Amino acid sequence: MATIHKLFKSPFFDFEFLRLLAMAPHEGAEIGEALEAASKIKDQDPESWYSTLLETGNKAES
């Protein structure tokens, strides 16, 4: 039986991150950028989620 890898303990963070990855083929985030951002997010810390993705987005736009 296969197991599902979860990046975050928070089901909400996990769902939102998978949603972010699903947008990659539709001019969303690059997968590498998204994974790099995920590595910087402190699990179950909404401020960390927000600030990390804001920083990643700003870097991508510049």
pLDDT in tens, 13-56: 999 999 999 998 888 788 999 999 999 999 999 999 999 999 99
Residue 11 in domain: no
Residue 50 in domain: yes
Rounded-to-integer distance, Cα 42 and Cα 62, Å: 25
pLDDT at 62: 83
| Cβ neighbour number for residue 22 with a 10 Å cutoff | 10
pLDDT bin (cut points 50, 70, 90) of residue 1 is: confident
Residue 35 in domain: yes
> 28 is written with which tokens?
């969303």
Residue 62 in domain: yes
Residue 13 in domain: no
pLDDT at 50: 96
Domain with 46 in it: 30-62
Question: Is 11's pLDDT higher than 80?
Answer: yes
Residue 41 in domain: yes
